[in-house]
């Protein structure tokens, strides 16, 4: 195909976009489509766990079968994410017939639209097409991202990922584009390519934050851009994965409640094996790696195998999610303590490690993670042990994301209110007088 591409920003809100294929490519592409508000129809006999999580949460529609041309009726755009060239060509043909633009992961020459390398900075989206070379597009995108980060004081502090290097920004000097070349000799992010063979690998346990992709730390983001392998959880913001280089191996370690789960040992094995093969592995975990995240087990497995580990703390949902719902976990003259507890084990279970009687006696804020399933039992237990049934309570689902929902209630009514409102995990329960402390 000749001629230069003509750049456009597609406004996809409520417009049908069809994604054909349910593998790694679709897993990477779907989050940006959802972020654009598209009405996504996914056609594929099988799905990755991450895609299934989108389906389960009602964010997109899934047709569990092979593609049929009529799937494109009413669509504005189609994204082909299958390896099978014959199947992909059939989608292309159906798209051409309907004059629908068709992105093809398997064959850019056959595509009628190309996906640019993207970096997002608040309201600004920068999209780069590399003239047929995706690596060039990535390199330019990375350079632009660094430049924009310099302007906002968030530039990576150069060099390799090792060590505690780099308080970000390095002060007020780097305020304009002119400052960039001189500011510590930063090279464009060369990533995995910089490491030669035989160099020992390592693992970084990185907290991805609670859901908003901008809530990853500067260091976590930098290590992510340098990774050879990324092992990601289900709660990790999809948009972070959207910006990975295509040569990065993305391992989906999704552990969907009550669904197919990959044993923790298998995750540990992948981390150790890839690192021993010389790779830089980023284990990306929702929130903070050590808050109900099993990060400690992964650290121990690596340590046992002699694999060096860097831990990058994350913004934990236990504090951030109440915050974005207008609830400070402490407040002057209201609460001088907050307690974070897991509600995934029922209070009367012999497996429970939580002293609910002691919690009922505390004045401060109680933040309960993974607590929806057992919420009725938990609140009844707290009341039975003397906590005031009128204590304010709040529940926040998918906090810090576009899908955030929340409700306010009281200790004795919150379980019924959650059921009535149909709130679902992931959600956080906050109990205490801080709920409402900022209401004016
Ligand atoms: N390590 C994570 C927590 C893992 S446990 C952290 O530090 O945030 C998973 C639980 O965290 C979920 O069941 C839910 O209770 C809570 N959670 C995580 N992200 C959330 C979000 N965006 N909104 C509401 N709850 C969230």
pLDDT in tens, 233-276: 888 888 888 888 888 999 888 753 434 445 688 889 999 999 99
For residue 194, pLDDT over 80 is answered with no
Query: Looking at 35, 56, 212, 255, which residue is catalytic?
Result: 255
Comparison of pLDDT for 105 and 177, the residue scoring more = 105
For residue 6, pLDDT over 60 is answered with yes
- Residue 417, pLDDT score: 98
Widest CA span of the chain, in angstroms? 75
pTM of the model: 0.71
- Residue 163, pLDDT score: 33
Phi, psi of 103 (to 5 degrees): -95, 130
Atom of ligand 1 minimally distant from the CA of 211: 22
pLDDT in tens, 218-235: 999 999 989 999 999 888
Residue 426, preceding peptide bond in cis (omega within 30° of 0): yes
Token pair, residue 363, equals 């004045």
Residue 288: active-site member: no
Answer whether 370 contacts ligand 1 (Cβ < 6 A).
Answer: yes
pLDDT in tens, 163-173: 333 333 332 22
- Provide the percentage of residues in the chain whose pLDDT is more than 90: 72
pLDDT in tens, 376-400: 999 999 999 999 999 999 999 999 9
Atom of ligand 1 minimally distant from the CA of 400: 22
- What are the chain's domains? 16-110 (3.40.50.720), 117-179+189-315 (3.40.1010.10), 318-436 (3.30.950.10)
- Read off the pLDDT of each residue in 42-63 and give the average, rounded to a whole number: 94
- CB of 244 within 8 A of CB of 141? no
- Read off the pLDDT of each residue in 86-106 and give the average, rounded to a whole number: 96
CA distances from 428 to 95, 124, 193, 279, 419 (A): 43, 31, 41, 36, 14
For residue 68, pLDDT over 70 is answered with yes
Q: Among 198-212, 246-260, 292-306, name the one with the lowest average pLDDT.
A: 246-260
Answer whether 211 contacts ligand 1 (Cβ < 6 A).
Answer: yes
- Residue 81, pLDDT score: 96
Answer whether 295 contacts ligand 1 (Cβ < 6 A).
Answer: no
For residue 152, pLDDT over 60 is answered with no
For residue 312, pLDDT over 60 is answered with yes
State in Å: Cα 153 to ligand 1 middle.
29
Residue 233: active-site member: yes
Q: In sequence order, which residues have a C-beta less than 8 Å from that of residue 373 and are 6 or more positions away?
A: 343, 344, 425
């Amino acid at each position: 195909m000749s001629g230069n591409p003509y750049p456009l920003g597609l406004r996809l809100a409520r417009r049908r976009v069809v994604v054909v294929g349910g593998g790694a490519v679709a897993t990477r592409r779907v989050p940006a489509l959802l972020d654009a508000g598209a009405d996504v129809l996914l056609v594929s006999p099988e799905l990755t766990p991450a895609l299934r999580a989108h389906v389960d949460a009602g964010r997109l529609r899934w047709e569990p079968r092979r593609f049929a041309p009529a799937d494109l009726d009413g669509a504005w755009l189609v994204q082909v994410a299958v390896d099978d060239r014959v199947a992909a060509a059939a989608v292309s043909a159906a798209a051409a017939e309907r004059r629908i633009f068709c992105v093809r992961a398997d064959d850019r020459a056959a595509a009628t639209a190309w996906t640019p390398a993207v970096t997002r900075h608040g309201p600004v989206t920068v999209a780069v097409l590399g003239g047929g070379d995706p690596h060039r597009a990535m390199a330019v995108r990375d350079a632009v991202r660094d430049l924009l980060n310099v302007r906002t004081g968030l530039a990576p502090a150069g060099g390799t990922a090792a060590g505690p290097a780099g308080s970000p920004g390095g002060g007020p000097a780097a305020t304009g584009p002119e400052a960039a070349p001189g500011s510590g000799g930063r090279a464009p992010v060369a990533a995995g390519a910089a490491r030669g063979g035989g160099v020992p690998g390592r693992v970084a346990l990185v907290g991805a934050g609670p859901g908003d992709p901008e809530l990853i730390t500067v260091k976590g983001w930098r290590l992510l851009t340098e990774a050879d392998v990324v092992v990601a959880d289900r709660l990790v913001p999809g948009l972070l994965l959207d910006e990975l280089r295509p040569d990065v191996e993305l391992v989906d370690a999704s552990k969907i409640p009550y669904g197919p789960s990959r044993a923790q040992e298998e995750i540990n094995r992948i981390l150790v094996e890839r690192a021993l093969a010389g790779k830089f592995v980023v284990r990306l975990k929702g929130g903070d790696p050590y808050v109900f995240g099993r990060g400690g087990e992964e650290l121990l497995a690596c340590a046992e195998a002699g694999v060096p580990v860097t831990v990058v703390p994350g913004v934990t949902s236990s504090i951030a999610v109440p915050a974005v719902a207008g609830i400070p976990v402490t407040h002057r003259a209201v609460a001088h303590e907050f307690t974070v507890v897991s509600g995934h084990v029922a209070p009367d279970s012999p497996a429970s490690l939580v002293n609910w009687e002691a919690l009922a006696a505390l004045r401060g804020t109680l933040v309960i993670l993974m607590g929806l399933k057992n919420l009725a039992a938990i609140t009844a237990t707290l009341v039975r042990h003397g906590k005031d049934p009128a204590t304010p309570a709040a529940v926040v689902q998918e906090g810090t994301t576009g899908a955030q929902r929340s409700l306010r209630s009281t200790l004795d009514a919150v379980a019924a209110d959650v059921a009535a409102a149909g709130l679902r995990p992931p959600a956080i329960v906050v109990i205490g007088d801080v709920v409402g402390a900022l209401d004016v």
